[in-house]
Structure 1
Amino acid sequence: MSDTNDLRYPIGPFTFGHTYTFDQSQEHIAAIAVFPHNLTELVGRWGDSRLDTPYRPGGWTVRQVVHHVADSHMNAYIRTKLALTEAIPTIKPYDENAWATLPDYRLSIAPSLVILSNLHQRWVAVLNDLTDAQLQRLYFHPESKKQFSLAEALANYAWHGEHHYQHAYQLALRNHWV
């Protein structure tokens, strides 16, 4: 992997198309549960100069990353609930790059950290009660024209949290902030 890709994908890209056992899904749920705490511990006290530093050349700032994760995980929570209450619902994609240019992405990260903490508490409450059969429930993504199981979606969102956590953490290491 090139240096640019190392910065863009510090834990490697997510690979779709795998199946996951119930135990693996439990590990993904555990990762989703602790993510807001870990992110808050890392960036919660950073000042504007650190938050407004891109994690890589041409990449988003840490501030944008935190707001993006809140937006992304809100969508994931809704997609989870749709998959549990409807037969293979078609989810609504969104343009994450366009969202990152909206005015709320210039706010303090505090509202997004609070959203993540509270959202993950609700999301994990739902996830912890899922049976293996429920983890196999599907939703349809119209951009990829593929169906995804909740088990695969959980793996993706566990990866997504760590992926963005590592963007901030690796930036902090490079700049001697930790």
Structure 2
Amino acid sequence: MHDLETLRYPIGDFVNGKTYSAEDSQQHIAALDEFPVKLTELVGKWGDDRIDTPYRPGGWTIRQLVHHVADSHLNAYVRTKLTLTEDNPTIKPYEEGEWAKLPDSQLDIAPSLVILRNLHHRWVTIFQSLTDADLARTYYHPGSQRSFELREALAMYAWHGEHHYQHAYRLAQRNGWA
């Protein structure tokens, strides 16, 4: 039996409030760039039996997880653009658990994998063009009641992609699918 906390956070929890260098940001951009291909290579040809397997007891299925990542990264992309065009905008949080129950989370994962590939292409293009001053721009998250610099949001979404990739990858390892 695997430790539930390790199944839940296979690479550890994201630590808010850290400082990131320009080199860190370049690594995070590279991670965002590679993520959609890496995820597609892992789960893109899985059948429904695998896709409908929860990555941990009480957790989402891989189908829900893939759709969640697309939803989450779409929101983050919009937050990035708002941050670059407004002064410390207040972003709109969303109920990710409730989104995972909507009918589109039962669709085939192919549309979300395509969304991720194209979305990340656009998102990475923006991040690659940013200056240090741009990465210091902030948005306000009312749920956290604090402002986030874009460089921290970039780090968080690089972590987020790897976090969910590892859910699927480690499930595949445990089940002999890898």
**TM-score band (shorter)?**
over 0.9
RMSD: 0.7
Partners of 1:20 and 1:136 in 2: how far apart? 10
Deviations 1:47-70 (A, max 9, x none): 000000000000000000000000
State the identity as a percent: 68
Deviation at 1:122, TM superposition (A): 0.4
Number of the residue aligned with 1:35: 35
Partners of 2:98 and 2:85 in 1: how far apart? 29
Number of the residue aligned with 1:7: 7
1:160 paired to 2:160: yes
Number of the residue aligned with 1:113: 113
Deviation at 1:22, TM superposition (A): 1.1
User: What TM-score, normalized by structure 1, do the two folds share?
Assistant: 0.99
Aligned with 1:168: secondary structure? helix
Deviation at 1:23, TM superposition (A): 1.2
For 1:105-144, what aligned pairs fall within 5 Å after superposition? 105-144=105-144
Aligned with 1:89: secondary structure? coil
For 1:25-104, what aligned pairs fall within 5 Å after superposition? 25-104=25-104
Paired AA for residue 44 in structure 2: G
Paired AA for residue 98 in structure 1: E
Partners of 2:60 and 2:72 in 1: how far apart? 15
* Runs of 4+ displaced beyond 2 Å: none
Deviation at 1:151, TM superposition (A): 0.3
User: What TM-score, normalized by structure 2, do the two folds share?
Assistant: 0.99
Structure 1 residues not aligned, in runs of 5+: none
Deviations 1:122-168 (A, max 9, x none): 00110100001100000000011010000000000000000000000
Partners of 2:8 and 2:158 in 1: how far apart? 17
